[in-house]
Amino acid sequence: MRSDNDAERDRGAGGMDWLGRDAIPDTLSASTFVSEASPSDSHRGRLLKAIHAELIPRLLGYRRSGVAIAHEQSRQHGRCVAAIDELAQVILRDDDTGAQALVDELLDGGVSIEQVFLDVLSPAAQRLGAMWESDTCSFADVTLGLWRIQRLLFDLSARFRSDSPNDVDPAIDGRRILLAAAPGGQHNFGISMLGEFFSRAGWAVETLTEPTQAELIAAVHARWFDVLGLSVGSEVQIAGLTSAIVALRRASRNQKLIVMVGGAAFAHHPEYVALVGADCMGSDARAALSAAADRVLAQEHRC
């Protein structure tokens, strides 16, 4: 264990500690060095004076700024977490006005649209699914609730896409992705969320709502896609997914089609990605966007 003496030796006389604070003894200020310096030490004196007057205050300012930013991020995250249950309950009460007011309050309070999407709307949708699985609400309640959350997503779509206009990567701009629930899936909120992120990043996005395997095969055969993104909400769908992916690759106009998977089934069992023959997975919209771009660019560099 390091002692106080060790820390003092590391700082050295006239140095700074690890936080960038002035470690010059109180009795020896920078002006003392300057006034007592010999001609050969004038440069050292000026340097110490500059450190004392300019560098140290800036370092302290940066540190305080970083602490303030971290505190604000923590506060906003706490607000989002608190809003998840509230939004789920408001949605189940069929209170569209209350749901919109809750989202508006978050945005007015400084929460970004991206945070609202990822840290409020998406977890609230998952909460509804968990309530159905625990028999707290009916399948009809969940279906209507997800539709209402999806409507909030659509209402914010234009603002979300203009929120970060510099997100488009020229190397990705115009690449094509097909997003769909895996065959047998019934809810498409996650697909809608993904579509917003990919569109904002410059991808040409096509989505299929509750497609059959035949409809997916027809789509990849008829049109070129760089990536196929499949959302899997239940482990029940895993059993038939391997053969479905084989068939989709075989039918694809792009014989190097990248298949990306995501959803609750893979979040709990990432080892399923290799099992079903997919290339990558996205744990959320940001991760999916990054994984798809990385795979496309890596494939291009290999060619």
- Rounded Cα distance between 303 and 299, Å, is 7
Please state the rounded mean pLDDT for residues 281-296. 92
- Considering the domain architecture, whether residues 264 and 294 belong to the same structural domain is answered as yes
- Rounded Cα distance between 3 and 244, Å, is 63
- Considering the domain architecture, whether residues 55 and 97 belong to the same structural domain is answered as no
- Considering the domain architecture, whether residues 192 and 285 belong to the same structural domain is answered as yes
Phi/psi for 280 (5° steps) reads -160, 175
Count H helices and E strands in the chain, helices first: 15, 5
Name the pLDDT band for 303 (thresholds 50, 70, 90).
Answer: low
User: So what's the pLDDT on residue 269?
Assistant: 87
Instruction: Give Cα separations from 163 to 102, 166, 230 (angstroms).
Output: 20, 9, 26
Q: Pseudo-torsion of CA 51, 57, 61, 67, nearest 10°?
A: 80
- Considering the domain architecture, whether residues 190 and 279 belong to the same structural domain is answered as yes
In eight-state DSSP terms, residue 137 is: S
- For residue 54, pLDDT over 80 is answered with no
Q: Who's near 17: CB < 8 A, 6+ residues apart?
A: 7, 11, 23
Q: Which of 162, 196, 222 represents a domain boundary (last residue)? A: 162
Name the pLDDT band for 50 (thresholds 50, 70, 90).
Answer: low
User: So what's the pLDDT on residue 154?
Assistant: 92
User: So what's the pLDDT on residue 94?
Assistant: 83
- Considering the domain architecture, whether residues 211 and 133 belong to the same structural domain is answered as no
Q: What is the pLDDT of residues 259-282, one digit of tens each?
A: 999 987 888 888 999 999 999 999
- Rounded Cα distance between 251 and 217, Å, is 6
In eight-state DSSP terms, residue 167 is: G
Q: Can you tell me whether residue 179 is helix, strand or coil? A: strand
- Considering the domain architecture, whether residues 156 and 262 belong to the same structural domain is answered as no
Q: What is the pLDDT of residues 225-265, one digit of tens each?
A: 999 999 987 788 888 899 999 999 999 999 999 999 998 78
Q: What CATH number has the domain bearing residue 291?
A: 3.40.50.280
Q: Which of 68, 94, 114 represents a domain boundary (last residue)? A: 68
Number of C-alpha atoms within 13 angstroms, CB side, residue 204?
Answer: 8
Name the pLDDT band for 204 (thresholds 50, 70, 90).
Answer: very high
- Rounded Cα distance between 157 and 153, Å, is 6
Strands (E), the chain: 176-181, 204-208, 227-231, 258-262, 280-282
Q: Which of 50, 68, 86 represents a domain boundary (last residue)? A: 68
The residue type at 54: E
Give the closest residue to 267 by CA, choosing from 102, 122, 58: 122
Domain count, the chain: 3
Instruction: Give Cα separations from 104 to 18, 60, 91, 146, 218 (angstroms).
Output: 42, 36, 15, 19, 41
- Considering the domain architecture, whether residues 196 and 242 belong to the same structural domain is answered as yes
Please state the rounded mean pLDDT for residues 27-36. 36
Q: What CATH number has the domain bearing residue 124?
A: 1.10.1240.10
Taking a C-beta distance cutoff of 8 angstroms, is the pair 33, 45 a contact?
yes
Q: Who's near 138: CB < 8 A, 6+ residues apart?
A: 132
- Considering the domain architecture, whether residues 190 and 285 belong to the same structural domain is answered as yes
- Determine the structural domain holding residue 218 and report its residue range: 168-302
- Considering the domain architecture, whether residues 205 and 142 belong to the same structural domain is answered as no
Q: What is the enclosing helix (H) or strand (E) of 295?
A: helix 285-302
- Considering the domain architecture, whether residues 96 and 134 belong to the same structural domain is answered as yes
Phi/psi for 180 (5° steps) reads -160, 155
- For residue 291, pLDDT over 60 is answered with yes
- Rounded Cα distance between 240 and 236, Å, is 8
Q: What is the pLDDT of residues 119-160, one digit of tens each?
A: 999 999 888 888 887 888 888 888 889 899 999 999 999 888
- Considering the domain architecture, whether residues 228 and 270 belong to the same structural domain is answered as yes
Beta bridge partners of 102: none
User: So what's the pLDDT on residue 52?
Assistant: 65
- Considering the domain architecture, whether residues 47 and 14 belong to the same structural domain is answered as yes
